[in-house]
Amino acid sequence: MDASICNLGLMEYQVAYDLQTRLVDERRTLESGNDIFLIVEHPSVYTLGRRGGREFLMVSEEFLAEKEIAIVPIERGGVITYHGPGQLVIYPIVHLKQAKMSVAEYVSKLEELMIRLAADVGVIAGRDERNHGVWVGNNKMGSIGIAIRHGVSFHGLALNVNLSLDPFGWINPCGLTGVQMTSLSVAAGEEITMERVLKNLIKHLEDVFPYTFTEISRDQLPA
């Protein structure tokens, strides 16, 4: 099967969300277009999943306003998490039935993708039964939160590459206690650039998912 991949660069969370929902509506019919993987980084923002998560916020909203960090409720699974520059976010718009993937298999593939990206820079990451995503020892490095609308999955994964980890210290990330967040740079003991992580992304995507990918620009996305 063919699929598209589009690198959006740095994009406000709400703008990326609106784009996702438009693409989900476009993808609803089996005959309409291909699955699309959006690559993005976000300015600093906390998002709340279907189970909420304000109770896991450890600082005041006034403090966050001073730091210019917004709080956005959203319909993905999970609770509170943080996005910021230096974090690789991938939003696959995937028609699961057409791709012949169960939800569990799809989530496992997202985890496998992050594990392979980490291995590229010498970081050994793995799964942990406590929470979906990828871990390095007791530290969580990548998160997964998805939503499904009319059989089409959106939202996706967030892999910490070289972002500031301080905002994670102001929440209980994903509602977990006694867990620290880490990044590829911290785990590797050197600065890992986004360009380095993205270098083999398409190869890993094609190894993990049943697609042949074509790179497109934002202007080439379905209208």
Q: Supply the range of the domain harboring residue 178.
A: 2-220
pLDDT of residue 83 exceeding 90: yes
Percentage helix, strand, coil, to 5, in the chain?
30, 35, 35
What is the model's pLDDT at position 30?
A: 67
pLDDT of residue 57 exceeding 60: yes
Query: In whole numbers, what is the pLDDT of the chain averaged over residues?
Result: 90
Joined together, the tokens standing for residue 94 give 């995937």
Split into its structural domains, the chain has a count of: 1
What is the model's pLDDT at position 173?
A: 57
Spatial CB neighbours of 13, under 8 Å, sequence gap ≥ 6: 42, 43, 45, 47, 70, 72, 83
- Percent of the chain predicted with pLDDT > 70: 91
174 among known catalytic residues: yes
* Lowest-confidence segment of 5-19, 24-38, 105-119 by average pLDDT: 24-38
Q: List, in sequence order, the alpha helices (H) in 28-139.
A: 61-66, 103-120
Q: Compute how many other C-beta atoms are within 10 angstroms of the C-beta atom of residue 98.
A: 16
The CATH number for 57's domain is 3.30.930.10
What is the model's pLDDT at position 51?
A: 58
**Residue with token string 């620290």:** 180
What is the model's pLDDT at position 175?
A: 54
Tens digit of pLDDT for each residue in 131-177?
789 999 989 999 998 999 989 999 999 999 999 999 998 887 555 56
Q: Active site residue: 23, 161, 174, 201, which one?
A: 174
Q: How far is CA 37 from the centre of its chain?
A: 11
